[in-house]
A and B are shown apart, each in its own frame.
Chain A
């Protein structure tokens, strides 16, 4: 599920064209449009910061985690953090490589 960087009220095509003119990354909208926007102020602020630092691009997985963190996001993020960043015999890059390999096997963009 991916999303565009258009602002509320913009037609998707117009937003995409505007973003392209500004050199921003243009991605397809989310299949569930509501997931593009976080329900929490913290989530919206994080999305804003990530978009600002990522040339307008917020990864779909981030949008999904920020949408309703009480349902899916807060605890899941902690589980990801625990699995991927806790002290381990594996280096971070090795863990990331494992994750990207599994995503590749699942035909899912990592």
Chain B
């Protein structure tokens, strides 16, 4: 039986906000605005929003693959980016920003489902009590 202790999902947001801020603000090869664009694009793609945030054209393919299904990334996806002149640091920053965006989108979906489940669960519990009370009648009658 779960207690009423503050749920983790309500308090984990502050540390995550710090992680997002670090990923965007830390010095690096990519400008902060570009990293934010990668993060926002990943959120858009993961949530299925059609007009996704634009990012550098050479990195669109890899960014979208990570946002949709990161397990499909292969070595050539990364080496081809390096061959087009991107530094390893730039690619790393783009990958981190994209992965964090994709993760945030999934977290949002999970939290939305959790909120819905909590409300539905509470509603069902109320219904269950009512049906249980109603069910006592026939059973009591049979007894």
Question: Which residues of A line the B interface, CB within 8 A?
Answer: 31-35, 67-68, 70-72, 74-76, 78-79, 82-83, 86-89, 106-108
Contact = CB atoms under 8 A, between A and B. Distances in A.
Contacts of A35: 88, 92
A8 to B, nearest CB: 16
Main secondary structure of the interface of B (DSSP, over half): helix
Among A31, A34, A70, A82, chain B packs the most CB atoms within 10 A around the CB of A31
Given A31-B75, A71-B93, A89-B3, A78 B18 contact: yes
Contact of B96 (A31, A71, A88, A107): A71
Interface of B: 2-3, 5, 8, 11-12, 15-16, 18-19, 21-23, 26-28, 69-71, 75, 78-79, 88-89, 91-93, 95-96, 100
A72 B96 CA distance: 7
24 contacts: A31-B75, A32-B88, A32-B92, A32-B95, A33-B88, A34-B88, A34-B92, A35-B88, A71-B23, A71-B26, A71-B28, A71-B93, A71-B96, A72-B19, A72-B100, A75-B21, A75-B22, A76-B19, A79-B12, A82-B12, A87-B5, A106-B70, A107-B71, A108-B70
